[in-house]
Structure 1
């Protein structure tokens, strides 16, 4: 009997966001045929994570398809996992070198240049761990990109994205927002409206999922023994094509 893995994401009201998430789930199913892959959500869409935990049996792992350890991971998903001691929760997808690599690919696709000012844009980060995760994501992106990366979020104690874009203009260069978001939808729409000259596509841009992103999800899904360390790889595998 295959082990069950629950891929849990934020729900989306946008059809393009739902389609992007479904495409990633299906790609993971094709890649990890030794696992029973089930999808779930923390909000907006059904089925909710608590419902999926209640309706499945045996040892199973929840993989948060989120880019930082934020409230949905630490509260919604963890609380749902407490409904059954056979359920474990892995680390979320980010921060991770793979996401930095995909982020740089999106920068190149958007036409970013070496003399642009780059601002990594993240969703609301309300607690210290989420803020640190976003900061680490910016450091990883900077290492792969080969230049300084600033940070702006859509809420929380860190610099608001619109303010970060305004500050970035002081450098007298184009401002390019690197979207640290998984799928299209309302969050990415807010990033597009931030006032930057260029805004990259999300990690999932509507086409086939980047194979590196699929492999990252599979590696989380196959992890055993209480989860994996966030961003635990030894270094970047830099590819610009």
Structure 2
């Protein structure tokens, strides 16, 4: 019997976002024929992750398709995993160098220039650990881009995105928001209303998923989870400017 890989994400009310996520799941399924790959959600879509845990059996790993370690990982997903001791939870997708590399690709695709001011924009960072992860994501993006990157979020204790865009205006250059989102939806629409000159596409832009994202998902599935996931069983043995 194959092991089961549960890919868990925030659901989307946007058809484009739902299609992009389904495309990523299908791409992972094609690459991981030794695993039974199923999807699950935290909200907005079904099946919810707890339901998937109840309806599957054997060794399973939940990969949070989320870009920071925050409440959906530490509470929603971990609590669902506690329904069965055979379920493990891996580290979330981000932050990671792969996301920084794809983020720079999105910047180039959006026409960003070396003299633009870049603002990495994340969805709600619910706690200090999530803020730290978003800050790290900005530092990685800065290293790959080769220039300063500011940070703004749509909620939580970090700098609000609109304020970050206003600060970026002080440099007297175009402001480009680098969307630190997996797919299209309400959060991406909100980023478009923050006052930047340009907003990049999310990591899943509606076309075939970048192969690096597929590889990142599989890497998370096959490496023991990072410390701090509430002692869940394992598989296999912030600053506002950077």
What interval of TM-score do these two structures reach, taking the shorter chain for normalisation? over 0.9
Equivalent position of 2:139 in the other structure: 139
Normalised TM-score (structure 1): 0.93
Counterpart for residue 6 of structure 1: 6
CA gap 1:229/1:172 in 2 versus in 1, 3 angstroms: farther
- Describe the SS at the equivalent of 2:170: helix
Residue number in structure 1 paired with 2:237: none
Q: How many aligned positions are there?
A: 228
1:218 & 1:32 partners in 2: Cα distance? Answer: 8
SS at match of 1:171: coil
CA distance in 2, matches of 1:205, 1:197: 19
Does the CA contact (< 8 Å) of 1:220 and 1:228 recur in 2? Answer: no
**Counterpart-to-counterpart distance in 2, 1:35 and 1:191:** 36
Alignment correspondent of 2:105: 105
Which position in structure 1 is the counterpart of 2:15? 15
Question: After the TM superposition, which segments of 4 or more aligned residues of structure 1 sit over 6 Å from their partners?
Answer: none
- The normalised TM-score by structure 2 is 0.93
Partner of 1:39, secondary structure, is strand
Unmatched 5+ stretches in structure 1: 231-241
- State the distance in 2 between where 1:156 and 1:128 align: 9
**Secondary structure of the equivalent of 2:178?**
strand
Counterpart-to-counterpart distance in 2, 1:26 and 1:194: 33
Which residue number corresponds to residue 174 of structure 1? 174
1:187 aligns with 2:190: no
CA–CA separation in structure 1 for the residues paired with 2:195 and 2:32: 41
Alignment root-mean-square deviation, CA: 1.1
Residue in 2 that maps onto 1:37 = 37
Query: Corresponding residue for 1:84?
Result: 84
CA distance in 1, matches of 2:14, 2:93: 22
Offset at residue 157 of structure 1 (A): 1.0
> Hey, what's the Cα distance between the residues in 2 that align with 1:49 and 1:89?
12
